[in-house]
Structure 1
Amino acid sequence: MTTTQAPVVRTTPRTTTRTLLTAGLVAGPLYTAVWLGQAATREGFDITRHPASLLANGGPGWIQSVNFVLAALLTVAAAVGLHRSMSGRGSRWAPRLLGAYGVGLLLAAIFPADPGAGFPVGTPGDHAEISARGMGHFVAGTIGFTGLIAACLVMAAYYRSTGQTGWARYSTVTGVLFFGAFAGLMAGAGKPVTITVFGVAVVLGWSWIAAICAQHRRTT
């Protein structure tokens, strides 16, 4: 009597790299869908007055915390895939900086933002107390967003060195716009225009991550 063995499926380094880069394609749409879904359904949440981080407060706040964790893990996976698919100028630091963005997202889940601007419902509109966890969230944002901005600029240098001028311009513009939006958020003292612009910048940042991961996945 003979037995038939199941075929052994071997994962090649190329397949692994493509899988890791696919994580970067998923991260942004997933994060944005969960964020906007909550923005549309959470009582008292106003997307022009409340940044996404505030969604981590209240009874359903765990949803946004999980959203941060999933986005963090997918972003770190994408950074590893980027490292495996790059060589030459910027190939060491660009993945590390993108990984820093993932670390910032993870820290944002560990240190949720303080309630504020009337959210969750029952929070005073002028509530501005900063707790230890709120300070931790501020540090998390600084680490993550600085990493993303720097990753854009280093990737721009990488693309220039490889003659991919279109991708270099795209990366530069994304980094500069995100920096401007982040600086405006810090200086805007919760003004609707700065919160709205920053929300748009977050979507642009995730779109850039998806785009470069797709580009490297095609060429890997």
Structure 2
Amino acid sequence: MTAIHAPAPAATASPAPAATRSLLACAAVSGPLWAAVSLAQAATREGFDLTRHPLSALSNGPLGWLQIANFVLAGVLMIAGAAGLRRALHGTPGGAWAPRLVRVTGIGMIAAGVFVMDPGDGFPAGTPAGPGTLSWHGLGHMAAGSISFLALIIACHLLGHHFRRTGRRGHALASHLAGTALLLGDVWAMSGGTAGSLTLAAGAITAMLWVSWVSARCLRAL
């Protein structure tokens, strides 16, 4: 006698998409949250000048805990979002490596929050002018930031490859521009260019917002 297998109830199919939506929402929030908290502090913290001080410098001073928490929370959200992107982009061009690099970006952001940048160039208020000394945690911050930025740059270009292969040329161009904005901003800042911290902030925020936008787009498509 042949056994008849009843179809699984429809309710059992819902948890996976629901979990994916939650994970993608994390990535969609991470970029805007980090940018908003960072820029709000940049505009209000005494002695901070975005043309001279990188956003990472906000981790110093009495309110430094706020930027540290901002880094860590955004990193956690990005790691969770990377899992959602992996599910949403599964089987598509760039669908394997782009989420992995987004996850590396999130890990790097957490590390950049844990390893605080050294005070310098007059911030926080009362700090002597000049770059100051490089401590072990300052070196750790530089390493974490470099890894995070490199992963984010490549992730943006892989997402551009994904969009190009799937026929969305406008999205592909925007993705490549986001990655290039971060690359140029980082190179300009590292070379000591005028207002390098400003160009770096603009590039980092652009790339992070783009990943968040892609995540929100995947969320709407579910």
Q: Deviations over 1:70-128 (max 9, x none)?
A: 10011111111000101222111100001111011000011010001111112111133
Provide the residue aligned with 2:8 in structure 1: none
Unaligned regions of 5+ residues in structure 2, if any? 1-10
Alignment root-mean-square deviation, CA: 1.7
Provide the residue aligned with 2:148 in structure 1: 144
Equivalent position SS for 1:148: helix
Provide the residue aligned with 1:155 in structure 2: 159
Provide the residue aligned with 1:123 in structure 2: 127
Deviation at 1:171, TM superposition (A): 0.9
Tell me whether 1:180 sits opposite 2:209 in the alignment. Answer: no
> Counterparts of 1:141 and 1:163 in 2: how far apart (Å)?
33
> Counterparts of 2:64 and 2:46 in 1: how far apart (Å)?
12
Residue type of the alignment partner of 1:62? W
> Counterparts of 1:114 and 1:41 in 2: how far apart (Å)?
20
Deviation at 1:9, TM superposition (A): 10
Deviation at 1:49, TM superposition (A): 1.2
Provide the residue aligned with 1:4 in structure 2: none
Deviation at 1:139, TM superposition (A): 0.3
**Residue correspondence of structure 1 range 1-220 to structure 2 within 5 A:** 12-86=15-89, 87-188=91-192, 191-220=193-222
Q: Deviations over 1:54-80 (max 9, x none)?
A: 111111111110000110011111111
Residue type of the alignment partner of 1:145? F
Equivalent position SS for 1:115: coil
Deviation at 1:12, TM superposition (A): 1.7
Runs ≥4 residues deviating over 6 A: none
> Counterparts of 1:167 and 1:152 in 2: how far apart (Å)?
11
Residue type of the alignment partner of 1:198? L
Equivalent position SS for 1:91: coil
Deviation at 1:192, TM superposition (A): 4.6
> Counterparts of 1:110 and 1:211 in 2: how far apart (Å)?
27
Unaligned regions of 5+ residues in structure 1, if any? 1-7
% identical aligned pairs? 40
TM-score (norm. length: structure 1): 0.91
Equivalent position SS for 1:46: coil
Residue type of the alignment partner of 2:165? S
Q: How many residues align?
A: 211
For the structure 1 residues 195 and 127, does the alpha-carbon distance in structure 2 shift closer, same or farther, using more than 3 Å as the test? closer
